[in-house]
Structure 1
């Protein structure tokens, strides 16, 4: 007998608890709800698509360099795998929570769908402070986390990647640990690994490159020429620094960047190469950099610029910041940098917000390229990777912009509509196994 999605009421999931606007998962769900209404999802489809498919919590014992055994808590959330194996990064941070990982996994589902990847969404994390851990402790943590989730991971099941405070080396340890348990080398089990272990050329710069591609597309829509454009970037890590570099190469003037030590501003433009060289010699930060005016992160977000790229953490643009924000375009390089309460303010001010699930999808798109190359055993040049990435990101922007015009909604809601529709259609075709 066919499964009837309509037997469940949406309120059974949403009404018992009040909405927590400071919860990343609720932030994602508020946007999901609007898109679901536009798509007229049946209550059953709504219930299916908003709930994570599986959530894994594991206690990770690690022998520290002191000889003491310390227990860390790790997470892996599989939000959806209707379109294919789940895909998503692993982050190491002291404030990682299951709620945050649930939200990030949901965002990955819609992000993968939006750019037409054959992946579902997932995310992982470990509550730890990597800055206080030695390389040996991080390796032991990573290997035990991977071993605990061996039955979850797999090139056809769930494919991790780097995220906050994880990198190519961490991915290499994931690859090796998984391969030792599988008794064979499985390069495709993880992406974002070193090129020498099957990583893809261009992967490291891909997220920032995707930000650049959709920002240029948005500029074209509002008639803004790169040569006349000023840019501020919050975050000077891999995504922010790459986006700043590439936008500068296109003719934009990058007047401000920031890191954990604050913002650095020069109205005539920053010397980004000098700033990157400075961070390499200064413990990875811009602390003490004297060739630019030191400002706060809040001041950076409200500078009088044409483009703002928030590429740091979640909820950086709240309602108060939004009211003072002067940029014409906001390209969300980070996940969830704009609080839901700020969306309405930005819409009233006619700020064109390129949402995170579109703006930073270059990373997972290049991860897909890496996975394909691993499965084929044939590798592409960096030029081929960049060309394919630019095409797919451009096509995704066009779909979202068209949907925004059709439904008279923001690009954010349009992106959710496009992403959710594809997953819902696949679910409808597959049906429910019972």
Structure 2
């Protein structure tokens, strides 16, 4: 019965790795996509909008992989440091003050100036509808990783495509959380719980396999990753319906 709700505390049948799972999924799909386009994460410049569970976890993993966090925006402010943020200090500020504005070693910008930051990877991990057409025309990143749900407006998505900016869509990019929620259900159902390393290993494989499948589909149909993602989903549903027959 505990499996009917996921994201629970550990002592109530929750899963290790769940809190950081969405951000980890953003990192894993971003790492795979970066390899595909020849972008070395060592020295890559990252800008993150939203420093909740998703944004902060993704930033932590990218920095651990050698990337430099050069810009952060949350509800309290917009900060930039071309030499890179000290993530330990930034995390301490976030925990203490509930926002990034109190971080000292960075330049303060207006919220709109965030979209002009010179970076390689942009991670919108806050609200939906953040990337509008005007903002899409200003983005300097080579790749956008949609950590939030629906952060890019459809018209802006077209602009990014025309400008050659790779977008890893939310449907796959932020699916790490729901994947580990499924793992939580499986563990509750079997009353057998995995270690965090086992969970991360399984999550990474699922995310990498999914992105590779979608990437190959996009190449085959000369489409965006977003279109390929929906095409793969529809294909699986249609195949299941066609082959179901008398099976329950």
TM over 0.5: yes
Given the superposition, is the C-alpha separation of residues 341 and 366 from structure 1 closer, same or farther in structure 2, using an over 3 Å criterion?
Answer: same
Q: Which residue of 2 aligns with 1:297?
A: 111
Are 1:237 and 2:45 matched, yes or no?
no
Are 1:370 and 2:169 matched, yes or no?
no
- CA distance in 1 between partners of 2:164 and 2:103 (Å): 35
Q: Which residue of 1 aligns with 2:66?
A: 251
Q: Which residue of 2 aligns with 1:410?
A: 224
Q: Which residue of 1 aligns with 2:204?
A: 390
- CA distance in 1 between partners of 2:2 and 2:154 (Å): 39
Q: Rg: which structure is higher?
A: 1
Structure 1's unaligned 5+ residue stretches are 1-185
User: Does the residue aligned with 1:228 lie in a helix, a strand or coil?
Assistant: coil
Q: Which residue of 2 aligns with 1:190?
A: 5
Matches within 5 A, 1:27-426: 186-282=1-97, 284-426=98-240
How far is 1:431 from its partner? 6.8
Contact kept? 2:78, 2:101, Cα under 8 Å: no
How far is 1:293 from its partner? 1.1
- 1:44-69 deviations in whole A, cap 9, x for unaligned? xxxxxxxxxxxxxxxxxxxxxxxxxx
Structure 2's unaligned 5+ residue stretches are none
Aligned length: 246
Contact kept? 2:69, 2:85, Cα under 8 Å: yes
How far is 1:341 from its partner? 0.7
- CA distance in 1 between partners of 2:162 and 2:90 (Å): 36
Given the superposition, is the C-alpha separation of residues 431 and 294 from structure 1 closer, same or farther in structure 2, using an over 3 Å criterion?
Answer: farther
- CA distance in 1 between partners of 2:60 and 2:219 (Å): 31
Question: Please, which moves more after superposition, 328-337 or 415-424?
Answer: 415-424
- CA distance in 2 between partners of 1:293 and 1:266 (Å): 6
User: Does the residue aligned with 1:294 lie in a helix, a strand or coil?
Assistant: strand
- CA distance in 2 between partners of 1:402 and 1:367 (Å): 27
- CA distance in 2 between partners of 1:256 and 1:280 (Å): 18
User: Does the residue aligned with 1:289 lie in a helix, a strand or coil?
Assistant: coil
How far is 1:262 from its partner? 2.2
- CA distance in 1 between partners of 2:190 and 2:113 (Å): 48
Structure having the larger proportion of residues in strand:
1
Contact kept? 2:79, 2:101, Cα under 8 Å: no
- 1:291-331 deviations in whole A, cap 9, x for unaligned? 21112333223311100000011110010000111100000
For normalisation by structure 2, the TM-score amounts to 0.96
User: Does the residue aligned with 2:117 lie in a helix, a strand or coil?
Assistant: coil
User: Does the residue aligned with 1:226 lie in a helix, a strand or coil?
Assistant: coil
- CA distance in 1 between partners of 2:235 and 2:127 (Å): 27
- 1:52-98 deviations in whole A, cap 9, x for unaligned? xxxxxxxxxxxxxxxxxxxxxxxxxxxxxxxxxxxxxxxxxxxxxxx
The structure 1 segments of at least 4 consecutive aligned residues displaced by more than 6 Å after TM superposition are none
Q: Which residue of 2 aligns with 1:93?
A: none
How far is 1:228 from its partner? 2.8
Contact kept? 2:93, 2:102, Cα under 8 Å: no
Structure with larger RCO (C-alpha < 8 A, sep 6+): 2
How far is 1:422 from its partner? 0.9
